[in-house]
Amino acid sequence: MSKKMVTLNELLEIKDFAERVTLVNKHGNLNNQITHVTIMEGPDLHEWVTGGEFVLTTWYAFSKSPDLQEDGFKKLAPRISAIGIKTGRFINKIPLKILQLADQYRLPVFEVKTAVKFRELVQTITSEIQNYQTNMLIEVEKNYQKLIHTSLNSDDLASLVNVLGNQLHKNCFCLNHEGKILASWSRRGTRKQDFLDWTEKIKTGFNERIYTDAGFFINELHIFECYARSQLIGRFIIVAEGQLTEKERLIGQQGASFLAIKLWDHYETLQKTVERFWKEIKNGEIKSGEVIAEKLANLGFVQQKAYNLILFSKGSHNISNYLIDRFLIEEEKFYILLCSSKEALTSINIFKKYNKEQNKIAAAVISPEFTELERIKEHYEMSVNVIRLLYKLHISGVRKAEEWLPFSLLMHCRNTSEYNFIKTTVLDKLQEYDRRYQSSLLDTLSAALRENSLEDAAERQHIHINTLRYRLGKIKEITQKNYFKMTDRYFLLLCIMIQRMEHEQL
């Protein structure tokens, strides 16, 4: 096994390093890991470090502006692993306040002797880092060969996860695309419930994830995504407080790649089963609620008291990443989610956060609640018609299918003789009158049909009730349709709905 990452304790054991520097504060953490060396002289050097640096400086910038040094050092100290300050050139000694601040952050401070050239220290430290990296890469290559051997000799995901766990010596596990644990490796004392808790933490904390060069993490969970054919099919998780070492990150990436190969078979088989089942429902081949419930149970879906279907329009980012552990079906233009009525609100909130986070303009349609699974096809077709209507009208956001059914019905009637009759004999005449006389007959009619009383409609239009009655009389004169007659009012309502559809003013 290669040695651990380079630490300050190890550097102090090297003669060429120890003879050139002196540790000058008492409470620095000499177990800090060093990943690279940086020489900096600017007062804003805290903005340019990324962590793990051994910073070398002559303190030039702060010697010219001593009033900036304490604030600048407070910003720098938490971001680096150690600092070496040369004395005898721009400052004679390291300020006491700086040493006190360094002890607060447990940052080791080294005084660099005047005659020492920075390039000598850089060479010594860099050689040690390169030696570590060489050994680390050799070890990672050995792990790679183990993964190849295991992959060729076993189709079992657990075998791969065991190789990874034995190399990492950290709790790790593999999830499929639905967020279910397929394999795990645990340290002594770890409970099965711990893995379930970690999985739940991923589901609930997905929107708070923090990205890194190798993936992302949620608290102590470092997550590497498994992709195959541009499809997310699972995740490999390493449980570790703080940042992973470079070796651990490389092993995590290796693990995700090998697991993706095995996960693809599992994913493809499950997807084909789901697609075949869904096709049977859409084609009416399965009509029995009991049969549907049984097939859903075989796919891991728990029976509920009441259900909703939610259709999510597609964007450039895959919302299935946000709806892990949900029964999600992908079609060409949208995703279909079957869920309990209780879970529907949670899923919609996830969708809203997704849109806001990704700055997306997308639509979601919620079907009415239903209790009999044999009605799933009916609710699917209803929701599809509504989301297609939203596409045509360029409408986004979350919408209830039930509220859009009248417009959906009208869409089916477009270009029929009935539709054209209402449009030409009622709508076109009122539009022409409003254009010619700059009137508001259509707006007034819409308000009268929408409000509970003519008084409320007049108030909404900011007109007198008599003015509203006069306009309704003018509508009767133009269209021969009497607002106060029920059958005529039905015609007028259809007229307003057609107007809203035709002019995309919904």
- Domain termination site, one of 128, 143, 167: 128
Q: What is the pLDDT of residue 331?
A: 87
Which CATH number fits the domain that encloses residue 86? 3.40.1390.20
C-alpha to C-alpha distance for 454 and 459, rounded to whole angstroms: 9
143 within domain boundaries: no
- Domain termination site, one of 236, 266, 296: 266
219: left (phi over 0), alpha (psi -120 to 50) or beta: left
Judge if 177 and 244 occupy the same domain: yes
At 505, the pLDDT band (50, 70, 90 cuts) reads: very low
The angle subtended at Cα 228 by Cα 223 and Cα 231, nearest 5°, is: 80
474: left (phi over 0), alpha (psi -120 to 50) or beta: alpha
C-alpha to C-alpha distance for 43 and 449, rounded to whole angstroms: 69
277 within domain boundaries: no
Judge if 190 and 91 occupy the same domain: no
Domain count, the chain: 4
448 within domain boundaries: yes
Backbone angles phi, psi at 260, to 5 degrees: -60, -35
Q: What is the pLDDT of residue 170?
A: 93
Judge if 350 and 255 occupy the same domain: no
pLDDT tens per residue, range 379-421? 999 999 899 888 877 788 899 998 888 888 877 787 888 888 8
Other residues' Cβ atoms within 10 Å of the Cβ of residue 204: 11
In this prediction the pTM is 0.53
User: For the ranges 76-90, 100-114, 312-326, 417-431, which has the lowest average pLDDT?
Assistant: 312-326
Cα separation values, 493 from 279, 406, 427, 448, 482, Å: 38, 11, 10, 10, 12
399 within domain boundaries: yes
Segments forming the whole domain that contains residue 311: 286-403
Judge if 477 and 371 occupy the same domain: no
- Is pLDDT of 84 > 60? yes
CA neighbor of 443 nearest in space, from 466, 462, 424: 462
Backbone angles phi, psi at 177, to 5 degrees: -65, -15
Judge if 448 and 490 occupy the same domain: yes
Starting at the earlier edge strand, list the strands of the sheet with 397-400.
327-330, 334-340, 307-313, 363-366, 397-400
User: For the ranges 119-123, 228-232, 367-371, which has the lowest average pLDDT?
Assistant: 228-232
Which CATH number fits the domain that encloses residue 251? 3.30.450.40
Percent of the chain with pLDDT over 70: 96
User: For the ranges 9-23, 44-58, 130-144, 282-296, which has the lowest average pLDDT?
Assistant: 130-144
Judge if 397 and 293 occupy the same domain: yes
User: For the ranges 13-27, 197-211, 462-476, which has the lowest average pLDDT?
Assistant: 197-211
